[in-house]
Amino acid sequence: MDPTSYTPADPQYAAFLDHRAKDLAVSRGWSRWTCNRVKCGLMVLAALHQPFEKIRATTVHALARHAEVAAVHLIDMLDDLDLLLDDAPDTLGQPIDTHLAPLPEQIRSEAAAYFDVLRDGTARRRPRTRDTVDVHLRMIVPFTLEYCAPRYSTLRQVTRNDLTEWVSTRQENVQREVVALRDLFKVLKAQRLIFADPARGIRPGAVPSNPPTPLPEDRLQQVAAAARDNPTLRVVLALAGIHALFPREIRLLQDSDIDMGTRRLRRGGTSRPLDGFTAQALREYQRYRDARWPKSSNPPSSPDPADRPT
């Protein structure tokens, strides 16, 4: 299907949609390619529908299967214009209903009200992603099914001691369960489905952790040999092995976080001294990066005294 072969029945309406697509692209940060794909889809839809006629979501998805249009962004725009008829099948509602089905009627109704808020949002709360809904479903259902259902007929009866006892018996995903349960009761309290929030202030407590296992000597030798001729691996090895930076912290590290003049590394409001190995690894990596990517957008660091002319 070639979108350019479709002529809108109402040129003024097509121009209106084109103008709104440009405005939305700016406000949502769409790329030029995305904006063009959305406008192509709009021209096809404008040729197949009357001005301001509601357009089915299934129609947009069908169009995307036969033409290179951005279905998700197109649906976003139609929804923004109140032109979307959302008839797409609810692929998330069924799993929620299935997981909540074994619960007592009142508890099931209260839990369903929570997941409605989680999915659709409210005036003061944005909708959560499908992944977040899936995680909270897995964290909340065991508590409501295994602990609440045999004891209570409504979540109004749950006490702080119940939650503390439940959390103390959990072995895995304790933090996630506490976050999900606190969110559950906070929302139910805001929706006036319970009288008090028993989860307020609940903490996961001390979570047992396994001490790190030292690398075998042969693996250490392999890493050292690989890092010897690889400036990128050497600086990652120094930042992770000596300064215990997480992968995300290493990826986001800027030259402005490194002060070679005073030999300090600044991250997250803290400042730590640079040891000789890390300083040398950073210096060699910066030279390697400047030679390979001379137009890097990474802000420059303070001058290294070792690079100043004598």
pLDDT digits (tens, 9 = 90+) for 205-244: 544 444 556 667 777 678 778 888 898 888 888 888 888 8
Q: What is the pLDDT of residue 109?
A: 94
Whole-angstrom distance, CA of residue 243 vs CA of residue 265: 9
Consecutive sets of 10 residues in the chain, 310 residues long: mean pLDDT of each?
Answer: 68 90 82 85 88 89 80 85 79 82 94 91 82 91 94 94 90 87 94 92 59 68 82 88 84 84 80 86 87 66 50
CA distance 1 to 66: 6
The whole-number pLDDT of residue 205 equals 58
181: left (phi over 0), alpha (psi -120 to 50) or beta: alpha
Order of strands across the sheet that contains 270-273: 258-259, 264-267, 270-273
From residue 202, give the alpha-carbon distance in Å to each of 97, 105, 135, 142, 291.
28, 26, 19, 18, 53
CB-CB contact of 178 with 203 (8 Å): yes
260 with 301: CB under 8 angstroms? yes
Spatial CB neighbours of 9, under 8 Å, sequence gap ≥ 6: 46, 47, 50
Q: Position 178: which residue type?
A: V
Supply the pLDDT for residue 204.
Answer: 67
Instruction: Tell me if residue 275 falls in helix, strand or coil.
Output: coil
CA distance 251 to 261: 23
Pairing state of beta strands 55-56 and 84-85? parallel
pLDDT for 127 equals 82
Q: Judging by beta carbons within 10 Å of its beta carbon (0-12, 13-18, 19+), is residue 233 exposed, middle or buried?
A: middle
Helix (H, G, I), strand (E, B) or coil at 246: coil
Does the predicted model carry a pTM greater than 0.75? no
Q: How far apart are the first and last CA of the chain?
A: 68
Instruction: Specify the pLDDT at position 206.
Output: 45
Amino acid 90: pLDDT = 64
